[in-house]
Structure 1
């Protein structure tokens, strides 16, 4: 019995250490994001308004870290709360980073992206016509597309509250990494998107809810072409086309939910639909979706490696002990 308890204690201590490391990575990443992104905005001359400032953000991060010890007896609640708070804080630097990436003088990449789609055999207008003629399919894709924010908000909470604590932190960390990596890639691929290039008026669609496919254009054109553009969080939109963050987050959510058997297949189906919806309901080329899934795979692998559970000390015997006899149960009983 003592041996069993000893095994259990070591395993629990190792597991808690893994979680603590992920918690520190998430808090550090959040603070680092504010310092770097806001410094870049200042250096590049982008004025920002109606956003949380760096001092306030760092103070909030410090407060979260300091208050975490008060919740040591409720680790599941603490994980759910921390993921929500850090996830919310990360929205500001991520959104600013998206705008900074679009501020480059790189020419529009729509023709290149359109040709990539054509090389894959994609006829986007025909694809839209096919989906829009099917009410049920359009309805499902509309719902799946709009599940983006809901999934980001609720899934880490569900994972943490059901005991998948490490996975909840990994998901929030990967979310930030995916967004920042996508920002860097998008510097070389600013694009107006399919609805604009193919002159598709969303109001003419029968069943597809394409309103969100063009509302971002004023913001995108403004930040890309106007050196005096002022970023206002109150009017900020998702202006990144390539790669598709929508598709990347779909891959992330499907991966994160795979850790919970009861969520595994419903979330997989939902996120296959959400990834597909990016090329239908939104302004994305099909290659945007493929690239987004690729970015997600890379970032998830990197985060999983950095936050991987360490092998318990009990998991391997020191080589010097291999020569020693291991007593059997009958030996112990005797």
Structure 2
């Protein structure tokens, strides 16, 4: 068996964005004086090595599903590491905070966050628990989407979904650098059942990056510090699109994606405009990725047997067959 050499445009776009992120991280880390804690980089490096090995095995076996799945995992792993690092580096540039502007935009939308938080604090604890689990399950959602699409041989849809996720993530990181914000913070000590949001827990990290106190990258403990737009709102939409053809998962995927998006302001510390911008970004990223995927047919998800035609006797015409090749006399 052999694989054709045709490559996916969506797949190529993902690698191009990852390469651009890597170059940006190298240049900015040098310019800003950042260093990497090498002893704590072993686990991410091991993960990348394992996925690279799985990809190599898949290529040797001509296993298109394994190749597609390992490629998707490798791309998302590299993107996550590089994307978080780049977000840290961009935060180090400082600049005026856009929190006040984002809060005003929410107010104009009619979002009264003290009132909303008060209502949320009176919700049953099990409901808040489920919502919190949905918010913090984004990595699990991505893993599940990759596994399902690879196992069911929906390989071009997998590549398109990953490309959309990477494009949306890259735009999110760049916009967050242009419009830096700490987040829609609330002190959980003032509430009975609400959890501390990610923005609340990471506020010292963001301020440390902005004032120069943090200049070492710990790759074993990386967290998203992006406020506007919300990647937690964009990615569930993209993953739901990826899983949509799987009929049995369509309804539960829609419910879980919707719950994740609704929970994003509470558990991520996002403004409402963050979520709206994330939803719009997901639609645009999917449009770009689908356009890339439609540029040319991708045949890399198919197994192509090598066929040898039997020799044919010479006919009265000028064409005869020899070892599967057309010979014109």
TM-score class, shorter: 0.7 to 0.9
- CA RMSD of superposed structures (Å): 3.0
Q: Partners of 1:180 and 1:204 in 2: how far apart?
A: 35
Instruction: Give the superposition deviation at 1:311.
Output: 6.0
TM-score norm. by structure 1 comes to: 0.77
Aligned to 1:30: 18
Aligned pair count reads 292
Which structure has greater helix proportion?
Answer: 1
1:46 to 31, 34, 51: 34
Do the aligned partners of residues 149 and 56 (structure 1) sit closer, same or farther apart at CA in structure 2, a change above 3 Å counting? Answer: closer
Aligned to 1:145: 135
Q: Would the aligned equivalents of 2:228 and 2:277 in 1 still touch at CA under 8 Å? A: yes
Q: Secondary structure at the match of 1:234?
A: coil
- 1:248-277: CA deviation from partner (whole Å, max 9, x where unpaired): 112211222223222222111211111111
Do the aligned partners of residues 273 and 19 (structure 1) sit closer, same or farther apart at CA in structure 2, a change above 3 Å counting? Answer: farther
Aligned to 1:108: 97
Q: Would the aligned equivalents of 1:19 and 1:165 in 2 still touch at CA under 8 Å? A: no
Q: Would the aligned equivalents of 2:17 and 2:167 in 1 still touch at CA under 8 Å? A: no
Matches within 5 A, 1:1-334: 20-49=8-37, 50-51=40-41, 67-72=57-62, 74-135=63-124, 136-195=126-185, 200-226=186-212, 229-308=215-294, 310=296
**Structure 2 unaligned regions, length at least 5:** 299-329
Do the aligned partners of residues 106 and 213 (structure 1) sit closer, same or farther apart at CA in structure 2, a change above 3 Å counting? Answer: closer
Instruction: Give the superposition deviation at 1:51.
Output: 4.0
TM-score norm. by structure 2 comes to: 0.78
Q: Would the aligned equivalents of 1:144 and 1:274 in 2 still touch at CA under 8 Å? A: yes
Q: Partners of 1:172 and 1:233 in 2: how far apart?
A: 22
Q: Partners of 2:244 and 2:48 in 1: how far apart?
A: 33
Q: Would the aligned equivalents of 1:103 and 1:225 in 2 still touch at CA under 8 Å? A: yes
- 1:110-159: CA deviation from partner (whole Å, max 9, x where unpaired): 11010000000000111111122111542332121122111122211111
Instruction: Give the superposition deviation at 1:309.
Output: 6.1
Do the aligned partners of residues 24 and 288 (structure 1) sit closer, same or farther apart at CA in structure 2, a change above 3 Å counting? Answer: closer
Do the aligned partners of residues 253 and 65 (structure 1) sit closer, same or farther apart at CA in structure 2, a change above 3 Å counting? Answer: closer
